[in-house]
Structure 1
Amino acid sequence: MMPSPHPLEQELGMRYYASDAPGIGGRLRASPEDFVVEELPLPISDQNGPYLICRLTKTNWELQRAVKEIAKRLGVSHRRIAWAGTKDKNAVTTQFISIYDVPPEAVEQVHLADISLEVVGRSQHPLALGSLAGNRFDIVIRNCIEDGLSARVQAATEVASAGIPNYYGLQRFGVVRPVTHLVGERILKGDYEGAVATYIGRAYPREPEEVERARTHFAETRDARAALADLPVRMTYERAMANHLVANPGDYAGALRALPPKLLSLLVSAYQSYLFNCALSSRIDAGMSLTEPEIGDRLLFSGGREDIVSARNRQAALMQIRRDRCRIALFIPGAGTVASHGPMDEMMQELMTESGIDAGDFERASRFVETAFSGVLRPISLSADVETDVSGADVRLKFTLPPGHYATTVCREYMKADPYMMI
């Protein structure tokens, strides 16, 4: 394992690469067309029902904004639209959405630049996050280090096949401004003013200077009227929160609820993702393997079955892992108490204690956001059979991942570059 030298990755808990081999460098997403994602849906079995299932293809659109624009064209609330997976903005993405109680003819009349919608079926139920078979990626990394490039690519491909740390990627926390987990932490602690101040007022150096100034002014003064005047029109979420505060001074809880419900819930779950990354890096700190189980490790099988490694079943567990029937997994806490079985559970509990957050905080956040934040198991390793092509200084990667796994986590093992070269 090789430590990451990049401060941002360290800050987000992504502290290691799987190998010590030199990276290929390069630039990801030089254009949206260099990052193509195709969602692999679960079968659509219902032939009727109130939910239209549509294939949405978009280029360089953030999903929440695309959904709001589609809803506006349809003349319905954006809350009628649901999806199975959140896709990248700076990319060409194809995915499926469900729209409640809208005729197909209305969908056919939606015309937006760089967006296409196609009705593919109906269902009795809306799509839900995670209800997909996986995602297929076709990615080009440009301007790589040409010296020994083919050998570097081959080395990374072998590592990706064997298994790499299954970190949540940079985009889980915000791309230019990785603050979602910080806002989520404040919500969990019931500090709604702090959450709003972080969302609107936390400035990052890669933003335009006028935006930095507007954020800093709000952080120092809490002057929502000035923020509304200074923040660009395109920053709809920050402006919605500021607008609420202008009309309702001091109502920071209400300002947070001005955000779309799915976005509000993502803020809290981003903190869970941050805890996972930190605990996974703590396991590597301790010299523990991603693929060789320790007594007390949790196992997650491909069919969803769970088990705990014991002295008696440890060898059998190792054999199952090598046959790719299960993976070592880490329990990400939420509302409700969970028994501790081994060192990974203890590491996670230490992180929770250090942060001052417990199950009761997740229960309160569940009521506030109106979303259940239950604990969940996530595999600590990711492996992918990557098809590669080297052309001059450009490298093309093709691979498929299960739901909830990040293509950028695979790409960083090849690049080992500044994470801002991946946005």
Structure 2
Amino acid sequence: MAESLELLWGLEERLGGRPRVGGVAVVRRPWGFRVIEAGPRPLRGEGWSLYLVRAVGVDTRRAARLLAGLVGGRGASYAGLKDACAVKYQYISVKTGPAGAPGRVRDPEGRLEAWLVGRGRVAPGLHSGNFFRLTVEHPDPAGLCSAFRGLRWVPGYFGPQRFGVERPNTHYMGLLASQGLWGSLLREMASRYPLEWRRGLGGYEAAAWRRAREAASPWAAAGKAWWLDFALQALRAYLFNRALSRAARSGGVQGYAEHWVRVRCPGGTVLRAPAARLPGGYHLRSGSAWSRLVRSVAEEEGLTGALASWGRRVFRPLAYPVCTAWCRPSRGSAEVVLALPPGAYATVALWEVVEFDWLGYAECSPPVDGEVNR
């Protein structure tokens, strides 16, 4: 089952080949997965208040909406998305206006708590990386820690969170949308997956169904919905993962680099990483080794048409440097601390060194009232 999920996400090859330590590791969410966003680099902005937010059981978009409602704000902004099923600390800016904002707020249902830490607006592109603190269950904690201490590079794959863990279909929705199969897309949105603890349709899915029903047309489900672009970009991410897997299988990813980019570690250190453009129409014309790889994957997947539709040239590292890797073994588990640049996934770092129990990871225990302070 784990291998099937990895293939579904395009995770086929590790940078270092076989896992460095035997046995299967599992992380119990949300309490075993903590992420702390590094100090922000806010923009100046009239009337923007900056909060440090602790949230459990809600994704970043929902946390931003909750915070804006609690402080009476007229909008919110953040530097990066975080997994809903995690204990996360991140910075969110709220447009509060000249009247100011309260110094501390808490969601009555216990999902979110926030502290006012300054002024200014954080936004995508102003991310300074993340610290991850993971409780990893494993039969050989000492061996696992030894493997982590030697970790220097993390594959540049998009992690499972980009496609869905309980519901691993975001890129499939992008495929259906790219082919204009709106009826099939609505049916996919209505389906429930076995690992989903949530029952019933989610917010954006219910809204899409309502628009389609009111207009008596499946095409009405799209509109200008944010989730549509999110799904299409997930399809692009899947193609990137497939191409990167082939590059790693060839013996090294640096030979496929189209550029070297600067990445920022939490704390401010800037390092260089080999990078390549996300799949796009330019790869149909370019003769680079990476372009040939992308074309072959797109042809194999029947996605040459979708490839041609992406025009924006975005570079992503083929591998990320590990800024910090610390590990302490205990009985039956290990406490792992990772500091990674923006865009790197802690789940991919785990997968690089050990076989990972994705089903155990997918079993998210939703917090109950008051558990945000646990």
Smaller-chain TM-score bracket: 0.7 to 0.9
Whole-Å separation in 1 of the counterparts to 2:236 and 2:126? 20
- SS of 1:284's partner is helix
Q: CA deviation at 1:200?
A: 2.4
Whole-Å separation in 2 of the counterparts to 1:193 and 1:76? 37
For residues 344-363 of structure 1, the aligned pairs below 5 Å read 344-353=290-299, 354-358=302-306, 361-362=309-310
- SS of 2:85's partner is coil
Which is greater in Rg? 1
For residues 19-34 of structure 1, the aligned pairs below 5 Å read 19-20=17-18, 21-28=20-27, 30-34=28-32
Whole-Å separation in 2 of the counterparts to 1:108 and 1:44? 19
1:335–1:362 CA contact under 8 A, matched in 2: yes
Whole-Å separation in 2 of the counterparts to 1:343 and 1:247? 49
Whole-Å separation in 1 of the counterparts to 2:229 and 2:345? 19
Whole-Å separation in 1 of the counterparts to 2:259 and 2:310? 24
The residue identity in structure 1 corresponding to 2:195 is R
Whole-Å separation in 1 of the counterparts to 2:34 and 2:262? 26
Comparing 67-76 with 132-141, which one deviates more in the overlay? 67-76
Q: CA deviation at 1:391?
A: 0.2
Q: CA deviation at 1:111?
A: 3.1
Whole-Å separation in 2 of the counterparts to 1:140 and 1:267? 31
- SS of 1:105's partner is coil
Q: Is it true that 1:10 corresponds to 2:7 in the alignment?
A: yes
The residue identity in structure 2 corresponding to 1:378 is R
Q: Is it true that 1:279 corresponds to 2:217 in the alignment?
A: no
Whole-Å separation in 2 of the counterparts to 1:12 and 1:197? 21
Whole-Å separation in 1 of the counterparts to 2:314 and 2:129? 18
- SS of 1:133's partner is coil
Whole-Å separation in 2 of the counterparts to 1:50 and 1:117? 18
Q: CA deviation at 1:290?
A: 2.7
Map of 1:153 onto structure 2: 145
1:104–1:119 CA contact under 8 A, matched in 2: no
The residue identity in structure 2 corresponding to 1:299 is H
Q: CA deviation at 1:419?
A: 2.0
Aligned with 2:207 (options 236, 240, 260): 240
1:272–1:332 CA contact under 8 A, matched in 2: yes
Deviations 1:164-183 (A, max 9, x none): 42211111101111111111
Aligned with 1:326 (options 263, 272, 280): 272
CA RMSD of aligned residues (A): 2.9
Whole-Å separation in 1 of the counterparts to 2:182 and 2:149? 44
Map of 1:375 onto structure 2: 313
RCO higher in structure (CA 8 A, sep ≥6)? 2
Aligned with 2:252 (options 289, 312, 329): 289
Distance 1:82 1:193, change over 3 A: farther
Distance 1:204 1:268, change over 3 A: same
Whole-Å separation in 2 of the counterparts to 1:276 and 1:23? 28
Map of 2:267 onto structure 1: none
Whole-Å separation in 1 of the counterparts to 2:72 and 2:180? 35
The residue identity in structure 2 corresponding to 1:408 is T
Q: CA deviation at 1:64?
A: 2.5
Distance 1:35 1:109, change over 3 A: closer
Map of 1:309 onto structure 2: none
TM-score by length of 1: 0.74
- SS of 1:274's partner is helix
Map of 2:164 onto structure 1: 174
Map of 1:265 onto structure 2: 229
- SS of 1:349's partner is helix
- SS of 2:305's partner is coil
**Greater helix content:** 1
For residues 23-172 of structure 1, the aligned pairs below 5 Å read 23-28=22-27, 30-44=28-42, 46=44, 49-73=46-70, 80-102=75-97, 103-105=99-101, 108=104, 111-112=107-108, 113-123=110-120, 126-142=121-137, 144-146=138-140, 149-158=141-150, 160-161=151-152, 163-172=153-162
Distance 1:246 1:375, change over 3 A: same
Whole-Å separation in 1 of the counterparts to 2:263 and 2:56? 34
Residue-pair matches, total: 350
Map of 1:255 onto structure 2: 221
2:102–2:116 CA contact under 8 A, matched in 1: no
The residue identity in structure 2 corresponding to 1:177 is R
1:31–1:90 CA contact under 8 A, matched in 2: yes
Map of 1:189 onto structure 2: 179
Deviations 1:299-343 (A, max 9, x none): 223179xxxxxxxxxxxxxxxxxxx95332221134667752422
Map of 2:342 onto structure 1: 403
Identity fraction in percent: 22
Q: CA deviation at 1:266?
A: 2.0
Q: CA deviation at 1:139?
A: 0.9
Give unmatched runs, 5+ long, in structure 2.
265-269, 363-374
Map of 2:354 onto structure 1: 415
Whole-Å separation in 2 of the counterparts to 1:391 and 1:303? 33
